[in-house]
Amino acid sequence: MTSAVTSVFVRDAADADGPGIAAVVGAVFAEYHGCVLDIDGEMPDLLRPAESYARAGGSAWVATGADGTVHATCGVAPAAASLTLGPGWELHRLYVAKPARRQGLGHRFCALAEAVARERGGRFLEAWSDCRFVDAHRLYERVGFLRQPEIRVLNDRSHSVEYRFLKRL
């Protein structure tokens, strides 16, 4: 049995966190039937998070244990502007390793992403989430996102079908 992780620290992600982030996302994907992690092909941003999010004009964070092990990650970056809502931000890559869950990290990352979006003039925060990630859907709705009618099909190796969650700011 894996013991729960306690005492985690949230900080900005560095490019050196790439392998630790990849390990977290790999372990999360292994929990979900059909989820395939193809870092080089589909998620290269995970390997150099600081550079990738800086280039996109956003921010990325990790939660680490006292020994530096990465237990969770999340990012936020500008979203495509909406004709009706104006400029907005998108929450990306929220993953918490199983032993670090249910301690508030998911809520904390959502709050961080929302704070960045508000500070930078965003009128909305959105998140696209695969239909298999039901824990995330509950989290998003708890923190004020509303699930939208649209879905998108990614045609990726995981055959992802994503729901859109939206919070007006």
Ligand X SMILES: CC(C)(COP(=O)(O)OP(=O)(O)OC[C@H]1O[C@@H](n2cnc3c(N)ncnc32)[C@H](O)[C@@H]1OP(=O)(O)O)[C@@H](O)C(=O)NCCC(=O)NCCS
CB of 128 to ligand X, least distance (A): 7
C-alpha to C-alpha distance for 166 and 169, rounded to whole angstroms: 10
* Residue of 95, 124, 145, 163 that binds ligand X (CB under 6 A): 95
Three-state SS for 140-165 is: HHHCCCEEEEEEEECCCCCCCEEEEE
Residue nearest to ligand X (CB): 106
* Residue of 21, 103, 114, 125 that binds ligand X (CB under 6 A): 103
Under the criterion CB under 6 A, does residue 76 sit at the interface with ligand X? Answer: no
Q: How many of the chain's residues bind ligand X (CB under 6 A)?
A: 19
**12-41 residues near ligand X, rule: CB under 6 A:** 28
By beta-carbon proximity to ligand X, the closer residue of 122 and 128 is 128
By beta-carbon proximity to ligand X, the closer residue of 34 and 86 is 34
| Integer angstrom CA distances of residue 56 from 53, 66, 88, 119, 134 | 5, 30, 13, 16, 28
Count other Cβ atoms within 10 Å, centred on residue 107.
12
Torsions phi, psi of 130, nearest 5?
Answer: -60, 145
Contact 90/126 with Cβ under 8 angstroms?
yes
* Residue of 21, 76, 79, 94 that binds ligand X (CB under 6 A): 94
Q: Which residues bind ligand X (CB under 6 A)?
A: 28, 94-96, 101-107, 127, 129, 133, 135-136, 138-139, 142
